[in-house]
Structure 1
Amino acid sequence: MRNVKGTRHSLRSTRRLSIIAQDPSVKSGGRIVTALIDVPAEELLSGPRGYRVAVVDYDVTANALYCPADLPSGLEGEYRDPFQDAPDETLLSDPRFHAQNVYAIAMRILARFEFALGRRVQWGCEGHQLNILPHAFAEPNAFYSRDNRSLYFGYFESFPDKQDQTHTVFSCLSHDVVAHETTHAILDGLRSRYLEPSSPDQGAFHEGLADAVALLSVFALPDVVGAALDGATGAALIDQALLEKDQLANSVLFRLADEMGQEMSGVRGCALRHSIRLSPGKDYKNDPEFQEVHKRGELLVAAMMRSFLDIWVSRLKRIGTIVDGKKDRSLVIEEGARAADHLLTMAIRAIDYCPPVDLSFSDYLSALLTVDREVVPDDRYGYREALLSNFRDFGIDPSARADIDGSWLRCDDEMIYSRTHFDSMLRDNEEVFRFVWENRKALNIGDIGYIEVQSVRPSVRIAPDGFVLRETIAEYVQVLTVTAGELRQDFKVDVPDDIEFWRSLRLLGGGTLVFDEYGQLKYQIANHLLKDRGDKRRQGDRLAYLWRQGFLDRKNDRAGYFAALHLARSGVSERAG
C-alpha cells in the first residue's frame, strides 16, 4: 500500500520543535536556555491543533483572540521549526511561539506517558482533544479543568526590579508549569477517582506526582543539566570533586531552584526549592503543616529528587577520569539525563500498580519497587535501593501489605479461569467483571455494596535488554452507601462523634488486577471495602479527615478544584491586601 508521498516507506513518526527548556529566568551565556525536543509528527491545523491537543489562544481578560501558530507540514519535505533560531525577544513576545511552546511540551509529556505505559493514554476529560489556552487570563494561575476539557495558563506583571521596572510573566513559557498541568489531565484519565476527597496522601499525590514528572522531564533534557551543572558552557572536562552528592545538589538542584526566581513561585509553588531544603529524618507526615496537599506533595518530590541524585552519583562512579581527576563533561550530563529519564519512566509506570481508591504514599512506593522489579530484576544502578532509602528519610515506608523487599506480594491463590474468555479479558470490562464475580471470595471482595469494573487496559513494557513484558491492567471499584449509625453499629467503624447518625455516607474500596500475557492474575493491589480491621481503620480515618476538612458538607466541585487549589498557592489574595 502506497502512502501519500507516493512511496512504500513509512512517514516520519516524530518532528523537532523548539521550547524554552525551563523558564525565561534560567539562562546560559546570557541567553534563555532552549531545547529542541521530539514530539509526535502529525499534520496540524492553525493553532496548532492536532489529534490530541488543540491550542486556542483566547484571552478572557482582554477579550482577544491571538493570531494562531502555523507549523509547516512535513509531507512535502522536512518538518521545519519556525522558531529554531529566534532571538530571546521573539520567544518572549510572540504569542505564536507561546502556542508552539505549550503544544510541544504537552505532546512530549503525553508521548512520554504512552511510551512508559505501552499504550495510548486518554485525557481525564471527555473527547480525544485537550484544549490549551496559553494566555487565558491576567492572573498568576494555571490549572486543568475536566469539565471544560482545557488547560488554562495565566499571565501577570512581575514585581518591580532594582530599576523599578516590571515586565509581563507568562506561565505558558515555564516548562514545569505546562508539564505539571498536563500531568494532571493525564493522571485524571488513568485514575479518575484520585480527584475525589479521600486522605491527605491522595490529594497530595496529584500535586506531588505532577511536580515530580515536571521536574524529572526537565532534568531529562541535557541542555538543562548542562546549563545548571557548573556554569562552564563549552568546557570539555569537569572536576570529579564537583560530582559528589552534596556538590551536585548545590550546583544543579539549588542553582536551578534559585534561577527559577520568584516570578513564577506563585504559579509553581516552589516545589523544587522547598522540597530539596527539607531535612530528612523528621516526622513530616504527622506534622499539621504537612496536612495541606501542596506541602504534603513536597515530601514525594523531595524523595524522588534526592533519589535522582543518588542514582546519578551511582552512574557516575562507572565513568573513569581522563586527566587530573577530571571527567568527560558530556558523559556526566548524559548520565544525569539518563538517570532522570529512567526514574521518570518508573514514576509513570508505577501508576498502573496503584490501587484505584484511597491511595497512600506507601502504596505508591510499593508500586515503584514492584514495577521496576518486573522490568529490571537486577537493578544494577540501585534505583530501588535509592527510592527505599530516600522515601524512608521522609517517613514513607512500603505498604504494610507488601513483601519483605517492599514490593507487592504476587497472587498465588487458585482462581476460576474456565468461565471467562482470554481474548475478551484483554479489553472487555464485562468479561473482567465476570472474572471478578466468579472469584470474589478468593479476591476477598465480600458481598456488600456494588462492584464496577472501571477500565481494562493493555500494557507493553520494554526492558533494558530488549525483551517485552505484556500485561493487562484492570481496575474495579466497590461502593457502599450507609448511614453513620449503621457504620458504627453494624460494621464497627469508628465514625467521628460529631457526625449525625442519620447522615448518609459513601465508602469506597477497590483494586487493580494485573494479568500476565497468558491471562493469569499476577497481582491484586487492593484497598478493600471492609474486609478486616485495617480496612475499618482506614475508612474511619478517611471519614475523620473528610469531616475535619468540611468535605462531607461540600459538593464535590471537581471542575474548579485545581483552579481554587492553585490560586490559593499563588498567594494572590495576600498580594491584593
Structure 2
Amino acid sequence: MRNVKGTRHSLRSSRQLSIIAQDPSVKVDDRIVRASIDVPAEELLPGPRGYRVVVVDYDATANALYQPASLSSGLEGEYADPFQEAPDETLLSDPRFHAQNVYAIAMRILARFEFALGRRVQWGCEGHQLNILPHAFAEPNAFYSRDDRSLFFGYFESFPDKQDNTHTVFSCLSHDVIAHETTHAILDGLRSRYLEPSSPDQGAFHEGLADVVALLSIFALPDVVSAALDGMAGGALIDQALLERDTLANSVLFRLADEMGQEMSGVRGCALRHSIKLSPGKNYMDDPEYQEVHKRGELLVAAMLRSFLDIWISRLSRIGTIVNGQKDRSLVIEEGARAADHLLTMAIRAIDYCPPIDLSFSDYLSALLTVDREVVPDDRYGYRDALLANFKDFGIFPSKRAAADGTWLRCDDEMIYSRTHFDSMLRDNEEVFRFVWENRRTLKIGDIGYIEVQSVRPSVRIAPDGFVLRETIAEYVQVLTVTAGELRQDFNVDVPDGIKSWRPLRLLGGGTLIFDEYGQLKYQIANHLLKDRGDKKRQGDRLAYLWKQGLLDTKNDRTGDFSALHLARSGVQERAG
C-alpha cells in the first residue's frame, strides 16, 4: 500500500520545533535559553490545530483574536521551524511563537505519558482535542478546566525594576507552567475521580505530580541543564564543586517557574515553588499548614526530587575528574538525564498501580515501588531504596496493605475465568464487569452499592534492557448512598456530629485490577467500600475532612477549582491589596 507521497516508506513520525527551554529569565550570554524539541509529526491547521491540541489565541481581557501560527506540512516538503533563528525580541513579543511554544510543550508532555504507559492517553475532558489559550486573560494565573475542555494561560505586568520599567510576563512562555497544566489534563483522563472531594492527599497529588513532571522533564533538554549548572552554554568540563548537593539543589533546575515567582513576589530568584528546600525529618503530614493542597503537594515533590538528587549524585560519583577537579560536562548531563528519565517513567507508570478513589501518598509510594519492580527487578541504581528513604523523611510510608518491602501484594486467590473471554477482557468494560461480578466475593467487593467498570486499558511497557511487559489495567468503582443515621447505626462509621441524621451521603469504594499478558489477575489495588475497620475509618476521616472544609455540598466536578487554587497560590490578592 502506498502512502500519499507515492512511496511505501513510512512518513516521518516526529518534527522539531523551537521552544523557550525553561522561561525567559533563564539566560546564557544575555540570551534566552531555547531548545529544539521533538514533537509528534502531524498535519496542522493554522493555530496550530492538530489531532490532540487546538491553539485558540483569544484574549478575553482585550477582546482580541490574535493571528494564528501556521506550521508547514510535511506532505509538501520538509517540516520547517519558523522561529529557529528568531531573536529574543520576537520570541517575547510574537503571539505566533507563543502559540507554537504551548503547542510543542503540551504535545511533548502528552507523548512522554504515552511512551511511559505504552498506549494512547485521552484528555480528562470530552472529545479528542484539548483547547489551549496562550493569552486567555490579563491575570497572573494558569489552569485546566474540564468543562471548557481547555488550558488557560494568563499574562500580567511585572514589578518595576530599578529604572521603574515594567514588562509583560507571559505564563505561556514558562515550560514549567505549561507542563504542569498539561499534566492536570492528562491525569484527569487517567483517573477522573481524583478531582472529586476526598482527602488532602488526593487533591495534593494532582498538584504534586504536575510539578514532578514539569521539573523532571527539563532534564531531557541538555542546553537547559548545562546553562543551569554554571551559566555556560558549552565547554567540555565542569568544576566538581558545582556538583555538590546543596549547589545543585539551589540551581534553577529544581525551582518551578522562576520568572512568574519572582515577578509576583517582587523578590529576585524567588521561584513559584522550590520544594526540594523543605527540611526533612519534620511531621509535615499532620501539620495544619500542610493540609492545603499546594503545600501538601510540595511534600510529594520534595520526596521525589530529593530521591532524584541522591541517584544523580550517586551516578556522578562513578565519574572521575579529568583535570583540576573538573568532570566531563556531557557525562554529567547524561547521567542526570538518565536518572530523571527513569524516575519520570516510574512516576507516570505508577498511576496505573493506584486505586481509582481516595488516593493517599502511601498508596502512590507502593505503586512506585511495585511498577518499577515489575519492569526492573534488580534495581541496580537504587531507585526504590532512594524513594523509600526520602518519602520516610517526610512522614510518608508504604501502604499498610503492602508487603514488607512496600510493594503491593500479588493476588494469589483462585478466580473464576471460565465465564469470561480473554480477548474481550483486553478492552471491553462489559467483559471485565462480568469478571468482577463473578468474583466479587473473592475480590472482597461485597454485595452493597452500585458497581461500575470505568475503564479497560491495555499497556505495553518497555524496560531499560528492552524487556517487554504487557498488562491490562481495569478500574472499577463502587458507589453507595445512605443517610448519615444509617451510616452511624448500621455501619458504625464515625460521622461528624454536625451532619443531620436524615442527610444522604455518598460513599465511594473501588479498585484497580492488573491482568498479565495471559489474562490472569496479578494485583487488586483497592480502597474497599466498607469491608473492614480500616475502610470504615477511611470513610469517616473523609467525611470529617469534607465537612470541615465545606466540601460536602460541592459538585462532583471540581475542575473549576484549579483556577481559584492557582490564583490564590499566586498571591495576587495580597498584591492587589
Does the TM-score normalized on the shorter chain lie above 0.5?
Answer: yes
- Aligned partners of 1:25 and 1:261 also within 8 Å: no
Instruction: List per-residue Cα deviations over 1:86-118 (Å, max 9, x = no partner).
Output: 110000000000000000000000000000000
Asked if 1:206 corresponds to 2:206, the answer is yes
- Aligned partners of 2:427 and 2:458 also within 8 Å: yes
- Aligned partners of 1:271 and 1:301 also within 8 Å: no
Residue number in structure 1 paired with 2:130: 130
Residue number in structure 2 paired with 1:291: 291
Structure 2: distance between partners of 1:18 and 1:376: 34
Residue number in structure 1 paired with 2:478: 478
Give the superposition deviation at 1:240: 2.7
Change (3 A) 1:165 1:399: same
Residue number in structure 1 paired with 2:525: 525
Structure 2: distance between partners of 1:350 and 1:265: 35
Instruction: List per-residue Cα deviations over 1:503-546 (Å, max 9, x = no partner).
Output: 10000000000000000000000000000000000000000000
- Aligned partners of 1:25 and 1:260 also within 8 Å: no
- One-letter identity of the residue aligned with 2:74: G
Change (3 A) 1:119 1:203: same
Change (3 A) 1:271 1:339: farther
- Aligned partners of 1:225 and 1:252 also within 8 Å: no
| Structure 1 counterpart SS, 2:414 | coil
Q: Aligned runs of 1:538-549 on 2, under 5 Å? A: 538-549=538-549
Residue number in structure 2 paired with 1:462: 462
| Structure 1 counterpart SS, 2:408 | coil
- Report how many residues are paired: 575
| Structure 1 counterpart SS, 2:104 | helix
Give the superposition deviation at 1:498: 1.2
Residue number in structure 1 paired with 2:343: 343
Residue number in structure 2 paired with 1:95: 95
Residue number in structure 2 paired with 1:537: 537
- Aligned partners of 2:215 and 2:254 also within 8 Å: no
Give the superposition deviation at 1:325: 3.2
Matched residues, percent identical? 89
Residue number in structure 2 paired with 1:187: 187
Change (3 A) 1:156 1:255: closer
Cα RMSD for the two superposed structures: 1.6
Structure 2: distance between partners of 1:328 and 1:339: 17
TM-score by length of 1: 0.97
- One-letter identity of the residue aligned with 2:434: R
- Aligned partners of 1:171 and 1:264 also within 8 Å: no
| Structure 2 counterpart SS, 1:366 | helix
- One-letter identity of the residue aligned with 1:243: L
Give the superposition deviation at 1:274: 3.5
Residue number in structure 2 paired with 1:28: 28
Long gaps (5+) in structure 1: none
Residue number in structure 1 paired with 2:247: 247
Instruction: List per-residue Cα deviations over 1:325-370 (Å, max 9, x = no partner).
Output: 3211111011112211111111100000000000000000000011
Residue number in structure 2 paired with 1:369: 369
Residue number in structure 2 paired with 1:309: 309
Structure 1: distance between partners of 2:382 and 2:170: 39
Instruction: List per-residue Cα deviations over 1:381-428 (Å, max 9, x = no partner).
Output: 111111111111111001011111111111111111011000000000
Residue number in structure 1 paired with 2:402: 402
Asked if 1:166 corresponds to 2:163, the answer is no
Give the superposition deviation at 1:241: 3.6
Structure 1: distance between partners of 2:91 and 2:273: 26
Structure 1: distance between partners of 2:373 and 2:44: 40
Asked if 1:558 corresponds to 2:558, the answer is yes
Change (3 A) 1:272 1:57: closer
Give the superposition deviation at 1:271: 7.3
Q: Aligned runs of 1:30-69 on 2, under 5 Å? A: 30-69=30-69
| Structure 2 counterpart SS, 1:262 | helix
Give the superposition deviation at 1:233: 3.5
TM-score by length of 2: 0.97
Residue number in structure 2 paired with 1:235: 235
Give the superposition deviation at 1:7: 1.0
Structure 2: distance between partners of 1:32 and 1:390: 34
Change (3 A) 1:264 1:102: farther
Change (3 A) 1:272 1:215: farther
Structure 1: distance between partners of 2:568 and 2:111: 31
The 10-residue stretch of structure 1 (386-395 or 252-261) with the greater mean CA deviation from structure 2: 252-261
